[in-house]
Chains A and B, each alone.
Chain A
Amino acid sequence: MNTEFINVNPESIIDESQKLKFAGYHLIQQCATRVPDAYELIYTFGKDLEMKNLKMTLPEDQEISSITSIYPCAFIYENEMHDLFGVQIKMINIDYEGKLYRTAIETPFK
């Protein structure tokens, strides 16, 4: 099973997602991993049984654009990354503003 990771810049995520959308890929998942002073983000896209993982490093104090304008279903993953890790994502189409998860402490995975 192919599990290739493609490194991209956080600034180009809209363009990269657009290209994949035009190529017929659907969104499989988005996830964040904490690394020193930054987040490592992995966006996984699929077409039939093929899979592509876009990987990017986002500095802790930097925002990333939401891809919900291209993949509306991304709202759930992006709200999760925001609520658990504190990843700053702008322009999510359904923004729960930190209330998707009712956690005892704010951004517990940060």
Chain B
Amino acid sequence: MSTRSVIPFGPQHPVLPEPIHLDLVMEDEKVVEAIPSIGFIHRGLEKLVDKKDFNEMVYVAERICGICSLGHGLGYSEAVEHIMDIDVPSRAKYLRTIWSELSRVHSHLLWLGLLADAFGFESLYMECWRLREEALDMFEASTGGRVIFSVMKVGGIRRDVSDEMLKDFYQRINKMEEQLNTIAKPFLNDMAVQTRLRGVGVLTPEQADALGCAGPFLRASGIARDIRTTGYCAYGDVDFEPIISTEGDSYARTECRIKEIFQAFDIIRQCIDKMPAGDIDVPVKGMPNGEYVMRIEQPRGEAIYYVKANGSKFIDRMRVRTPTFANLSGLVETLKGCDLADVPILVLTIDPCISCTER
């Protein structure tokens, strides 16, 4: 009869620079149960609604995370815009969409690099992050920032992008797509990678749905839930279908994210082709009064922004539910029955963002 022991895993992760801790209950080499522990770096940013007015809170939202910065600013701004019944100009919606998809590209490439690093594929890791630099360069050219962009505001956006720059983006996207074709091959075809990923950490569609999972982690289990299909920003004007896989294992999650990068390129090209002329913002009059729950599709999955306002310049509550927070339950489920050696990879396959979670 095997004996049970508890192994503390983390808060340091072999490749993640952010702290998450798991108590792994083991029977020999198999994980029987995992209990997650977070809260090492909780910052309480939501509490800043007491000190920052509803316009300044956009900057606070953007500082929740360095990877999902743009999405947080967007989700919060859209929630306030719904409360104030503000109709954002079409050009601002299209630019918001382009930047959102660029965020997806750089977030997924960052994750692919980390995955390669976890295998010990050092040059593949460097290649992924080199390609990610292209996306960051485009951010820098269009917003002035590489990590925190400060380009969102309630009522629109702060900076326009010239038509010449958009044409340049189009060409850069095409080149990135060619390079990604090369980089994607080892992830999808290499025997060693497949051995580490196929059949590891399987989550059935029923489990993924019941556990409230989000993003590629959910869609890799065959559930076609993508909040972009609700048509916020300019997503209602572009053609795309949610990317899904059916196996629900770590390989399926990798495949989903790679396909989503290609899809992001396609959405950016469609937005550039259809880019309307006109203003990028509208004047904001009055103060927000009411409440709204906004959902957007961040690179890591569905993010929720609840805003409650009272008619003054300070809102009562901003609550952000990040995709990693939703995916922790799914992670615990996938860890049950896996080998100890697979734990680092499985933690990685939910694409955890602890900064978001510790907002």
Contact = CB atoms under 8 A, between A and B. Distances in A.
Interface of A: 1, 3, 5, 26-29, 31, 33-34, 42, 44, 48-49, 51, 53, 71-73, 75-77, 83-84, 94, 96, 99-103, 108-109
Interface stretch (B89-97, B136-144, B223-231): B223-231
B294 interface: yes
A29 B329 CA distance: 12
B40 A94 contact: no
A48 B295 CA distance: 13
Contacts of B47: 108-109
The interface centre, meaning the residue of A31, A34, A72, A77 with most chain B CB atoms within 10 A of its CB, is A31
A49 B321 contact: no
B8 interface: no
A51 B294 CA distance: 10
Contacts of A96: 37
Interface in B36-88: 36-40, 42, 44, 46-47, 82
A42 B39 CA distance: 22
A102 B35 contact: no
B295 A103 contact: no
Contacts of A53: 293
Contact of A44 (B211, B304, B328): B304
B225 A49 contact: yes
Interface string B316-337: 1101010001101110000000
B229 A5 contact: no
Given A27-B212, A72-B211, 13 more contacts: A1-B230, A1-B295, A3-B293, A26-B210, A28-B326, A44-B293, A49-B227, A51-B293, A72-B329, A76-B325, A99-B39, A102-B40, A103-B39
Nearest to B41: A102
A88 B267 CA distance: 46
Contacts of A5: 291
A26 B44 contact: no
24 contacts: A1-B230, A1-B232, A28-B302, A28-B321, A29-B304, A29-B319, A29-B321, A29-B326, A31-B317, A31-B321, A33-B308, A42-B306, A49-B230, A51-B293, A71-B210, A73-B212, A73-B326, A83-B39, A84-B44, A100-B37, A100-B38, A102-B40, A103-B42, A108-B44
Nearest to A27: B212
A50 B295 CA distance: 11
Given A44-B293, A44-B304, A48-B225, A33 B316 contact: yes
Contact of A28 (B40, B212, B232): B212
B117 interface: no
A96 B39 CA distance: 11
Contacts of A29: 304, 306, 319, 321, 326
Given A3-B82, A3-B292, A5-B291, A26 B209 contact: yes
A71 B225 contact: no
Nearest to B209: A26
A6 to B, nearest CB: 12
B321 A101 contact: no
B218 to A, nearest CB: 10
B329 A73 contact: yes
Contacts of B321: 28-29, 31, 77
A1 B228 CA distance: 11
A29 B302 CA distance: 11
